[in-house]
């Protein structure tokens, strides 16, 4: 479940390239997980996400323990025992928060969790560096670890990682490396950037090497420098992600109106001012947010550990402020879900501060006072225990139903129904992620229906997409890669028309109900075409299709439509719409 999960599984099994920026680290990790001798490919990949989620909880616990023992409390064995209830409660608040739990039980969610674990690892390294004495021999190696993890982050989901660069730089602005020694500084800088380069090399090497080998999933084809740069910068989707700074730049240069700047700004305010507070409220609840404020106040007044706190605060500010500089979230039904994805790192930051808040309140609620009645002391201890247990349990019970995916088969069965709806040797125009990625998963992971030729029309906008189709399916006779076109639209119109014109007498053309490039640039301009329904797909009523038998609705695979609460998840809404359109769901 969760958006592009079939793509993520397929990329891991086949070592392919996902949609830009291609996520090489995620593909490598999923490839390693796929080697485990348990379950099938989907189960292994989901288990990998769960392991990654568990790692994030453990890292949060270790970081909170370090903060409390080294900065805000004493490191005696007795104090360490008193710290663990606060650590456990705060970690479980994170584990059971809505978005974190959701990502930990979905393959694509594991991609976001890997990024979060890397950021947690960076902060843990920096906190260890700050906590150790200057004379400690092992102190310097924590910095190299932080730079290496930062490089891996840039090789994974660099758009999120760069948001933490200001926090990373400000941490060293307040460094205790004194007196200044240029030779020592240059050696440290060289060593640190060497580890950074090692981390980034995953990105710089994996993309062109795998693209050169032409894996079956090769979105962006970053084999040469031009395609590599476009894939890395996600140039293919930038037009669909307008941002305020770009609109201002266009207005200043006279290429755009100032009215568009005003409209963009008010739209951003309308969305962000509602969705960002809602994320904090739904994911952390009121109790955890109040504890986070207490923890923030206590930590800010502490003598030590302020650089670690500064890292968290600056990172949180960058994470929130980016929504007021770039309109990354379109105003659709998926708006809240997308905001949750991008704000996922805020969950561990607030949970960490909530743990500090729990430790701050502990002396007022646990330590008995002789000046008050014994009943009042017992009541305070009961209140303390209720807070420790109540906040994680509140998260657990409020988020369980939507995170329970034991019956989540909607996306999987939709992919199987697509294949069942296509006759042998059909040409399938996969209109969207809901069609394209499940079909690639079934064909290349489970080895089902290799006779069906899958064509993602949206890739035919690009020269690399046309070239890949010519390489994998030369029998279709496509020649658009050698033709110069004035724009992307001319290329896709020519490609679709040529494929159908050359193969309409021998192949059945299949497409889904979902509105996509094939609908917009071929069907809509030919209203006279006859179309026939087959299961969850449609056929062009050409000569070959008259000899084939269509799939009746009774032949569809329909498991757990009615007993799975997570079927209402926004990432499944278009699949649910198809079944509603067919009259199979209310």
Average pLDDT over residues 193-202: 91
Please provide the average confidence, as pLDDT, over all residues in the chain. 87
The widest CA-to-CA distance across the chain, in whole angstroms, is 95
Cα 259 to chain center, whole Å?
Answer: 33
Query: How would residue 432 be classed by pLDDT, with cut points 50, 70 and 90?
Result: confident
pLDDT at position 204 over 80: yes
Distance CA 83, CA 88 (A): 9
Beta bridge partners of 243: 326
pLDDT at position 50 over 60: yes
Distance CA 52, CA 111 (A): 9
For the segment 254-270, what is each residue's pLDDT rounded down to a tens digit?
888 888 888 888 888 88
What SS3 state is found at 428? strand
For the segment 85-117, what is each residue's pLDDT rounded down to a tens digit?
999 999 999 999 999 999 999 999 999 999 999
Q: Residue 161: name the closest of 351, 322, 29 by CA.
A: 322
Query: How would residue 372 be classed by pLDDT, with cut points 50, 70 and 90?
Result: low
Distance CA 77, CA 66 (A): 13
**Is the CB of residue 177 less than 8 Å from the CB of residue 321?**
no
pLDDT at position 180 over 60: no
Q: Is the pTM above the cut of 0.85?
A: yes
pLDDT at position 210 over 60: yes
What SS3 state is found at 337? helix
Instruction: Identify whether 361 is preceded by a cis peptide bond (ω within 30 of 0).
Output: no
Beta bridge partners of 511: 429, 538
Q: Residue 267: is it exposed, middle or buried by C-beta count within 10 angstroms (0-12/13-18/19+)?
A: middle
Going from N- to C-terminal start, the domains of the chain cover 5-403, 410-581
Query: How would residue 543 be classed by pLDDT, with cut points 50, 70 and 90?
Result: confident
Distance CA 272, CA 336 (A): 10
DSSP at 424: T
pLDDT at position 176 over 70: no
- Per-residue model confidence (pLDDT) at position 45: 93
Q: Which two tokens stand for residue 320?
A: 């929130």
Q: How many CB atoms lie within 10 A of CB 141?
A: 15
**Is the CB of residue 357 less than 8 Å from the CB of residue 286?**
no
Instruction: Identify whether 21 is preceded by a cis peptide bond (ω within 30 of 0).
Output: yes
Query: How would residue 179 be classed by pLDDT, with cut points 50, 70 and 90?
Result: very low
Distance CA 159, CA 139 (A): 30
pLDDT at position 339 over 80: yes
- Specify the long-range contacts of residues 383-387, CB closer than 8 Å, at least 24 apart: 387/89, 387/287, 387/291, 387/358, 387/361
Q: What share of the chain is helix, strand, coil (3-state, %, to 5)?
A: 70, 5, 30
Q: Which two tokens stand for residue 341?
A: 């994805």
**Is the CB of residue 521 less than 8 Å from the CB of residue 458?**
no
% of the chain with per-residue pLDDT over 70: 93
Q: Which two tokens stand for residue 163?
A: 């948001």
Distance CA 171, CA 165 (A): 10
**Is the CB of residue 141 less than 8 Å from the CB of residue 132?**
no
- Per-residue model confidence (pLDDT) at position 1: 73
The angle that helices 306-321 and 107-131 make with each other, rounded to 10 degrees, is 150
Beta bridge partners of 540: 531
More confident: 189 or 64: 64
The structure tokens 């950074």 sit at: 196
Distance CA 287, CA 281 (A): 10
Q: Which residues contact 136 (CB under 8 A, 6 or more apart)?
A: none
For the segment 440-456, what is each residue's pLDDT rounded down to a tens digit?
999 999 999 999 999 99
Beta bridge partners of 170: none
Distance CA 69, CA 75 (A): 5
Cα 357 to chain center, whole Å?
Answer: 29
For the segment 19-37, what is each residue's pLDDT rounded down to a tens digit?
989 999 999 999 999 998 9
């Amino acid at each position: 479940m969760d958006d592009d999960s079939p793509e993520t599984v397929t990329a891991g099994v086949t070592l392919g390239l996902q949609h830009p920026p291609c996520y090489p680290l995620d593909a490598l990790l999923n490839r390693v997980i796929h080697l485990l001798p348990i379950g099938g490919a989907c189960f292994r990949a989901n288990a990998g996400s769960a392991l990654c989620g568990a790692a994030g909880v453990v890292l949060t616990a270790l970081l909170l323990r370090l903060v409390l023992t080294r900065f805000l409390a004493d490191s005696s064995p007795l104090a360490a025992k008193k710290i663990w209830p606060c650590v456990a409660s705060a970690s479980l608040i994170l584990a059971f928060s809505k978005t974190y739990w959701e990502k930990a039980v979905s393959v694509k969610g594991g991609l976001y969790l890997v990024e979060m674990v890397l950021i947690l690892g960076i902060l843990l390294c920096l906190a260890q560096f700050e906590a150790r004495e200057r004379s400690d021999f092992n102190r310097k190696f924590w910095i190299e670890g932080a730079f290496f993890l930062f490089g891996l982050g840039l090789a994974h989901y660099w758009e999120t990682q760069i948001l933490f660069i200001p926090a990373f730089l400000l941490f060293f602005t307040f460094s205790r490396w004194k007196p200044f020694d240029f030779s020592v500084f240059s050696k440290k800088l060289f060593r640190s950037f060497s580890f950074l380069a090692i981390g980034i090399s995953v990105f710089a090497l994996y993309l062109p090497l795998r693209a050169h080998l032409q894996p079956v999933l090769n979105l962006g084809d970053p084999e040469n420098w031009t395609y590599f740069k476009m894939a890395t910068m996600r140039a293919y989707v930038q037009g669909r992600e307008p941002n305020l700074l770009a609109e201002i730049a266009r207005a200043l240069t006279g290429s755009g109106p100032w009215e568009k700047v005003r409209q963009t700004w008010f739209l951003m305010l309308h969305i962000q001012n509602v969705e960002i507070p809602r994320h904090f409220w739904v994911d952390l609840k009121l109790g955890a947010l109040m504890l986070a404020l207490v923890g923030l106040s206590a930590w800010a007044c502490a003598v030590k550990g302020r650089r670690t706190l500064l890292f968290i605060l600056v990172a949180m500010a960058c994470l929130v402020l980016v929504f007021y500089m770039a309109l990354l979230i379109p105003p659709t039904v998926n708006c809240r879900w997308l905001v949750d994805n991008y704000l996922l790192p805020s969950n561990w930051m607030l949970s960490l501060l909530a743990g500090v808040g729990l430790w701050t309140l502990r002396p007022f609620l646990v330590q008995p006072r002789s000046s008050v009645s014994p009943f009042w002391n017992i009541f305070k201890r009961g209140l303390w225990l209720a807070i420790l247990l109540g906040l994680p349990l509140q998260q657990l019970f409020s988020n369980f139903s939507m995170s329970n995916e034991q019956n989540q088969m909607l996306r999987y069965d939709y992919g199987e129904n697509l294949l069942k709806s296509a006759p042998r040797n059909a040409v399938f125009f996969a209109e969207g992620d809901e069609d394209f990625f499940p079909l690639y998963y079934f064909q290349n992971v489970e080895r089902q229906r290799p006779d069906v030729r899958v064509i993602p029309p949206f890739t035919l906008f690009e020269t690399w997409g046309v070239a890949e189709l010519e390489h994998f399916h030369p029998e279709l006779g496509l020649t658009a890669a050698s033709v110069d076109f004035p724009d992307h639209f001319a290329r896709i119109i020519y490609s679709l028309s040529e494929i159908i014109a050359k193969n309409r007498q021998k192949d059945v053309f299949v497409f889904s109900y979902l509105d996509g490039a094939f609908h917009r640039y071929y069907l809509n301009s030919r209203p006279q075409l006859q179309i026939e329904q087959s299961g969850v797909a449609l056929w062009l009523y050409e000569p070959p299709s008259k000899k084939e038998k269509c799939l009746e609705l009774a032949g569809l695979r329909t498991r757990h439509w009615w007993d799975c609460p997570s079927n209402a998840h926004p990432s499944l809404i278009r699949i649910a719409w198809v079944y509603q359109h067919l009259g199979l769901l209310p």
